[in-house]
């Protein structure tokens, strides 16, 4: 049975974020890493979130237990391509926490470190 990728790309998980979840070096762009991090949240793959968070800014523990992520919309990207060192991804992610439905709007910053993309931080409104 094929499973559509939770990131909303319309592709199968094994042809989209799946390989990046298994090995973050497969993320060729900042957007691809962003999508894989969203997918990791939906699947409870906290280890992927921690491993792809820049060591300078990541917390000791990473999880979003109790949150059901229900949709991702990429709004804009800047840089973050294979030849770039930094990148930005603006997105909206819908989620449910308890009985409340919410939307996270963030402009995330990414940086290449040792040849692979890492999430640095983001501005949330």
In a domain, 83, yes or no: yes
Q: What is the pLDDT of residues 103-122, one digit of tens each?
A: 999 999 999 999 999 999 99
pLDDT value of position 64: 76
Residue 40 is assigned to a structural domain of this protein: yes
Residue 54 lies in a domain: yes
* Any domain includes 89: yes
CATH number at residue 51: 3.10.450.50
pLDDT tens column, 30-50: 999 999 999 999 999 999 999
Q: Which secondary structure element, helix H or strand E, spans residue 111, and what is its range?
A: strand 100-113
**Residue 5 domain-assigned (yes or no):** no
Tell me, yes or no, whether 25 lies in a domain: yes
Asked, for residue 58, whether it belongs to a domain, the answer is: yes
Structural domain contains residue 37: yes
What's the 3-state SS for 44-95?
CCHHHHHHCECCCCCCCCCCCCCEEEEEEEEEEEEECCCCCCEEEEEEEEEE
**Structural domain harbouring 18:** 11-122
Number of folded domains that form the chain: 1
pLDDT tens-digit profile of 64-85? 778 999 999 999 999 999 999 9
From the number of C-beta atoms within 10 Å of its C-beta (0-12, 13-18, 19+), residue 78 rates as middle
């Amino acid at each position: 049975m094929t499973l559509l990728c939770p990131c909303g790309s319309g592709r199968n998980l094994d042809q989209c974020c799946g390989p990046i979840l298994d090995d973050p070096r497969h993320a060729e762009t900042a957007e691809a890493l962003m999508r894989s991090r969203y997918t990791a949240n939906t699947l409870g793959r906290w280890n992927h979130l921690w491993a792809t968070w820049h060591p300078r800014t990541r917390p000791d523990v990473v999880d979003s237990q109790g949150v059901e992520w229900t949709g991702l919309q990429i709004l804009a990207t800047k840089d973050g391509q294979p030849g770039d060192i930094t990148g930005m991804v603006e997105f909206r992610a819908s989620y449910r926490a308890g009985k409340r439905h919410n939307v996270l709007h963030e402009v995330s910053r990414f940086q290449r470190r040792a040849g692979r993309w890492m999430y640095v931080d983001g501005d949330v409104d």
